[in-house]
Amino acid sequence: MSHFEDATNEYSTFHSSKESEVLERLRRATWLGTTKPQMLSDPIQGRFLAMVSGLTKPKKILEFGTFTGYSTICLAEGLQEGGTIDTLEINDELEHIQDLYWKEAGLKNVTRYIGHAHEIIGSGALKGPYDLIWIDADKEHQIDYVDFAVENLNVGGCLMVDNVIWGGAVLDEEKLAKPTSGGSRIHRLNQHIRNHPQLKNVLIPVWDGIQVARKIS
C-alpha cells in the first residue's frame, strides 16, 4: 500500500464501527499461529461483510474460503434467527482455531466442508438455495464458483467475490496477454460477472477489489 492508502485505511477503520473483542483476538491468533496471516480480512473488510449481511438479512449463507473463520463470524452478524452458514475450506489444520472462536462468538448452525471447493460443489453435498454467497477461494476455478453461486442463489440474493483487482494485475497488459496468468483469469472473471444476464453488479475498487452482485432473475 502507498502512504495515502495506509492513511486512508487507518482513517476509515477509526471512523467505522469497531470489530468485536472476539474478532480482535481471532485476528491476533491468526497472525501469530498461521503461515499466511495476510489472507485474513482486515477490520474494514470485515465490517463491510457484516454490513452487507445485515442489510440483506440472509437465512442461508455460503462461504468459499473459511481460513480461520474471521469472515464467517462477520457474515453471521446479519443472519436471521435460526439461519445457517455452509463454509468451505481446503486446509484441515485450521479447525481448532475456527471452533474456538466460533464458540466464543456464539455461532451456531455452521456446517464446515473440508476439501477443494471445486470438488465439493461437484459432489452434490451443498443444499441451496442461498441468500448470500461470499467467494474468497482459489482463483483457477472462480468462474465455475460464480456459475454455481448464480444457480444456487435466490432471486434478489447477493453474491460477493474477493480479490478481483489482483494487486493491479488486471491492468497489466503483459499479464493479460498470458491466458494462464492470475491477472488474465481475474479479468475474464470480471467480464463474466459484468456480462452475466442474471446479475447486476458493481466492482468496488477497495482492498484488492470486491465484486458485489445481485441476482435479478
pLDDT confidence band for 137 (50 / 70 / 90): very high
Contact indicator for 151, 191 with CB cutoff of 8 Å: no
150-202: per-residue pLDDT in tens?
999 999 999 999 999 998 889 888 888 888 888 899 999 999 999 999 999 99
Contacts of 172 (CB under 8 A, 6+ apart): 183
Prediction pTM value: 0.95
Q: How confident is the model at residue 105 (pLDDT cuts 50, 70, 90)?
A: very high
- pLDDT value for 211: 98
Is 3 a residue whose pLDDT tops 70?
A: no
Exposed e or buried b for every residue in 84-118, given b needs 16+ CB within 10 A?
A: bbbbbbbeeebeebbebbbeebebeebebbeeebb
1-5, 102-106, 185-189, 208-212, range with the lowest pLDDT? 1-5
Domains defined for the chain, CATH in brackets: 3-215 (3.40.50.150)
